Structure 1
Amino acid sequence: MAFNLPILLVCTLAILHFLPVDAQRLYTKVLPPITDVGSEVALITAPGAYIAGEAYESLCLAIQKASSLKLWVGLTAGYRGDLADPVSLEEAIYLAISDLQAAGMSKTAPIFVAGHSLGGTFSQTIVAADPQMFAGVLLWASYLAGQTSDMGAFPTPVMHVSGDIDGLTRMTRIGRAYRELLNLMTTDPEAEFTKSVVLVSGVNHGQFASGEMPPEVVENDILSDLTQADAQGAIADASVMWMEANMGDTAARDRLQKAVSKTNDTFYPLFVAEDYEQNGMASEWAIISQELVASVPPELTNELHITNQIYDDQGDFESSKPSVFKNLKGKTVVTTTSKVNKPSNPLDNSLTEESADEIATKMKNQLAIKEVLGNGQYGVMLNCKELNQEVFDWALTMASPEVLDRYNRNGRQMILEMTSSQKQVPSGSTILLRIHTRLAPHGTVKILHFLQGTEWNNISFKKNGSGQWEILTSASLYTSPKFPVPNIAGVYYCKQLSPYRAMEWVYVDSLRPYIVA
């Protein structure tokens, strides 16, 4: 669901304006039940952008085969340019209901709608507007968004089903839905079954449909090791267990519960990384970084207490300064400040990372801490490049064996290189360091650490005209404790790689296709 709803809606209407009136002839391809046993149910599909409605036939046949229900399927089709706008989709869904009933389906049969990608975006609004008509909605590689984004308030059962290697509807965006589910389950245990979120292992965005995929899918999706049949079999199993569970099948509820629990296990390392990036108004990773910069003797560890304060406002963050002092109990306290800079994503585009572009952190350097904490055998103070290496190494240790194997086989490897060693900073002077990261033509990411300039710049993830990815990492600032301006004496400022961004790189972005000139 990488297509932005407001933008694509405007573009869709503009395109349709120039197409001939007879270019759209909506119709339903009816797939009759393959069994007369079980409760009678209907499933109506809403295709993704620029994907033909009939492209979901093989998936729906797999769903019928996996289901114990007497399942009718209506494939909505005939959209202009294979692009369903909300008005046409609503017409097509109600046409499908009529066509299914004309083919022999009972008028009392519960009706589920399954929308893939943008089809899920539009179909959720149609279902929410007429909840008495529909038994629920399956969001295939899609998610609740816009006016229907509140999972708890959605008026029918809803299920998110997405692949864990989807290059367009990134799994971390589905993770946001899963966290919402976890919150709902604290007060409504039934939400596990009525608002389910399930990741399907090894499945990408395009495998929900069959045939040639549109350019945006080709350019962004992640290569799957699964055959189309195996991938669609896994999607079918997830979809069936949810429909059957919401039809009262106890065995299906048990299977669904296990699938939701397995999804929790998949998300766990990412959620840990997300909480390390920011938890409330503090960054745990900033605190860990200050510990690594201080590198105090083991016997003094318990004498040191580190705090962090995140600022949302840029002006407040710029005014903030780290400090080190002895409290009334004689313990050395180091206060650090951070600003977690998230990518702008007002339209909730799932191509955009969920993680921060950077964590800007203001710390005290080792010499400043030593002056207050006391002498001892201190370790080597890590520089900003080494802190980024620490976070990336941590991400690799947190990733599951399957994810790590996939990253090692198919991912662009991130290598951090230092071209200039950190030097002793004399009193009254500063060293500014910049890290520059580039996707090299051979597919390796390099982070280069070198002396440069006079600014403290941002980390940014940019894609240039050739499709080559660049990551620009900022300057760091180091001053001597004897620096003549007291409030910036003995500081170490770093623009850091977020642990959550490191995890997103390993799980998603390193695996996506890149066009390298």
Structure 2
Amino acid sequence: MFPFLQKLLWFMATFAAASAAVTSEIIQPIRQSGDEVALIFVPGAFQRGQYYREIARVIQEASQLRVWAALTDGYDSNYPNPRQLPGAVEGAIKGLKQAGMISETYIGIGHSRGGVVIGSYGRSSQLKAVVLMGAFLNSTLKDYPIPILTLAAELDGRVRITRVVNDFEELLDDASQSKDAIFRTPVINVQGTNHLQFETRSPIPRNITLDIKSDVTDAEALKTIAHYVNSFITSTFSTDATQVKDAQEQLKDDFTDSRKRFQPILDMKALEENGDSCPWAIIVQQYFAGKFADVVVVNNDILELPEFNKSKPSLREDKGKIEIDNTAFIEFEEGYEYNFLEPQSPKEIRLKLKSKAAINDALCQAPGKEPSCRSLNELAMEYALNSSNGYAVDRYNLRGRPIFFEDDIMTSSENEWLSTPLNMWEDDGLHVQAVALVTSINSPKLEGMHYCKVMAPYRALEWIIIDSLRDY
């Protein structure tokens, strides 16, 4: 036998054996009538199908539909994967039919890793819709071929709400073009819940799961989650016009409610970049201007390396008005797009600003006291707190670890400033130490410069709503 054919037969046999190992526990509906649908559950990594019995039961109780459930289990190493998933879904459908299900309305519902694989699988399958719990779609919502619900736990310690906000931002744009988007691809921020409350099992220490302590009981979380799932599946699959209308009204309310929790994140994220400029660089330059901010116009360019390193801010005065051109470079954690345990906000923002002394000199004013780069970090924290919802601030004040702003690391040359990173470290709180370079208005080549490496307001917000709440 040819070696290639041997390998192919081995792969086919392995695939068949692995797929056969996946089982499905079928849960009968509790309603005797109503539109028939089935939820096919795919568990999270290293989790078991049985952990989702309770959420299946609570969804059944919340819905007027005739809801079946199939809990898939037995993936290799308890790790759902694309190789075994088709066989798992086929096995679940076979089990549902054998148990008496007549409809072919199958809905994939995946938690965490299960959400990742079911979201990809749902593009071309027998599924009629998908529900993601503690997971998100790795593509645009509007291009997904079937309806999809994204449920994001506000206090998810593994899949940050600050990653799912990207999907909500996309939904906002889609909804501005078609109101049906909030029914077809809703993205819901589930208040006060964490990553593990989509399932039910014995508690695991949070220092192992990296999850965040929730604000609600498991029973309350399951009831809320079931409410969202029911609104989605009823709106999508019910043939009762009254049920559909009520479900869509509920989804509208859920969209509005979620927006209240997503909006602070969107606001702080928006301070990073607007086209080719950094709004935060404009804000802090005017902060340097102090009482003369109303006569200062600031233009900013976000530059990449090495252009940023070569750049220098400039200042022009004309008839009592000041125009300043400054630059910014935004650096993120390496691989942050794929590692959702990492902050989604910038690692640091590098700002090349004109000094307060340079602004005052152009206006024929006394130099005044030069602000510190530390004061910009304090301002970032102020913006983040002011943008946050009251209950988020209360939660932070009650059980969040504080931020400590350290005095600036003062550098004496541009090269030293460029090579010295913003200093941040954690213990009983987060310590942040900016890096500064301040030059005299008479300095050759660097006249009246104030360079700062600082924390983004978005990073301050992530600390408030996520990282400060973790068990250190």
How far does residue 475 in structure 1 lie from its aligned partner after superposition? 2.2
Contact 1:53 1:82 in 2 (8 A): no
Contact 1:323 1:336 in 2 (8 A): yes
3-state SS of 2:469 partner: coil
Q: Which residue of 2 aligns with 1:319?
A: 310
How far does residue 260 in structure 1 lie from its aligned partner after superposition? 0.9
Q: Distance in 1 between matches of 2:19 and 2:233?
A: 35
3-state SS of 1:128 partner: coil
3-state SS of 1:186 partner: helix
Q: Mapping of 1:291-306 within 5 angstroms?
A: 291-295=286-290, 297=291, 300-306=292-298
Cα 1:468–1:400, aligned 2, differ >3 Å: closer, same or farther?
closer
Using the aligned pairs only, state the percent identity: 30
For 1:67-98, what per-residue CA distance to the aligned partner results, in whole angstroms no more than 9, with x for missing partners? Answer: 11100000011223321221212211111011
Q: Mapping of 1:73-88 within 5 angstroms?
A: 73-88=69-84
Cα 1:216–1:91, aligned 2, differ >3 Å: closer, same or farther?
farther
* Match for residue 261 of structure 1 among 256, 261, 275: 256
How far does residue 303 in structure 1 lie from its aligned partner after superposition? 2.4
Q: Mapping of 1:25-424 within 5 angstroms?
A: 25-106=21-102, 108-130=103-125, 133-145=126-138, 149-212=139-202, 218-248=208-238, 249-295=244-290, 297=291, 300-311=292-303, 313-327=304-318, 331-345=321-335, 348-375=338-365, 380-418=369-407
For 1:449-505, what per-residue CA distance to the aligned partner results, in whole angstroms no more than 9, with x for missing partners? Answer: xxxx76642226678xxx999766452101001112x2x121000011101111111
Q: Distance in 2 between matches of 1:390 and 1:380?
A: 17
Q: Distance in 2 between matches of 1:26 and 1:214?
A: 25
Amino acid in the other structure paired with 1:261: T
Contact 1:136 1:156 in 2 (8 A): yes
Q: Distance in 2 between matches of 1:186 and 1:291?
A: 33
Amino acid in the other structure paired with 1:120: G
Q: Which residue of 2 aligns with 1:476?
A: 436
Q: Which residue of 1 aligns with 2:453?
A: 495
Q: Distance in 2 between matches of 1:47 and 1:340?
A: 37
Contact 1:287 1:307 in 2 (8 A): yes
How far does residue 63 in structure 1 lie from its aligned partner after superposition? 0.6
3-state SS of 2:312 partner: coil
Cα 1:482–1:208, aligned 2, differ >3 Å: closer, same or farther?
same
Q: Which residue of 2 aligns with 1:458?
A: 421
Amino acid in the other structure paired with 1:294: A
How far does residue 232 in structure 1 lie from its aligned partner after superposition? 0.9
Q: Distance in 2 between matches of 1:502 and 1:92?
A: 43
Contact 1:51 1:214 in 2 (8 A): no
Contact 2:349 2:454 in 1 (8 A): yes
Cα 1:83–1:24, aligned 2, differ >3 Å: closer, same or farther?
farther
How far does residue 345 in structure 1 lie from its aligned partner after superposition? 2.1
Q: Which residue of 1 aligns with 2:7?
A: none
Amino acid in the other structure paired with 1:105: M
3-state SS of 2:339 partner: coil
For 1:366-391, what per-residue CA distance to the aligned partner results, in whole angstroms no more than 9, with x for missing partners? Answer: 11111212226x76432001111111
Cα 1:460–1:72, aligned 2, differ >3 Å: closer, same or farther?
farther
Q: Say how many residue pairs are matched.
A: 453
Q: Which residue of 2 aligns with 1:442?
A: none
Structure 2: unaligned runs, 5 residues or longer: 1-13, 239-243
Amino acid in the other structure paired with 1:372: A
Q: Distance in 2 between matches of 1:63 and 1:399?
A: 32
Larger deviation, residues 366-375 vs 340-349: 340-349
Contact 2:175 2:182 in 1 (8 A): yes
Cα 1:23–1:46, aligned 2, differ >3 Å: closer, same or farther?
closer
Q: Distance in 2 between matches of 1:228 and 1:365?
A: 53
How far does residue 218 in structure 1 lie from its aligned partner after superposition? 3.3
Cα 1:454–1:483, aligned 2, differ >3 Å: closer, same or farther?
same
For 1:181-222, what per-residue CA distance to the aligned partner results, in whole angstroms no more than 9, with x for missing partners? Answer: 111122222111101000111110011111146788834100
After TM superposition, the score normalised by the length of structure 2 is: 0.90
Structure 1: unaligned runs, 5 residues or longer: 1-16, 423-429, 434-452
Cα 1:454–1:27, aligned 2, differ >3 Å: closer, same or farther?
closer
3-state SS of 2:157 partner: coil
3-state SS of 1:492 partner: strand
Contact 1:357 1:460 in 2 (8 A): no
Q: Distance in 2 between matches of 1:468 and 1:205?
A: 24
Q: Distance in 2 between matches of 1:247 and 1:510?
A: 41
Amino acid in the other structure paired with 2:105: P
Amino acid in the other structure paired with 2:437: L
Q: Distance in 1 between matches of 2:300 and 2:167?
A: 28
3-state SS of 1:86 partner: coil
Contact 1:24 1:78 in 2 (8 A): no
- CA RMSD in angstroms comes to 2.7
Amino acid in the other structure paired with 2:435: A
How far does residue 225 in structure 1 lie from its aligned partner after superposition? 2.7
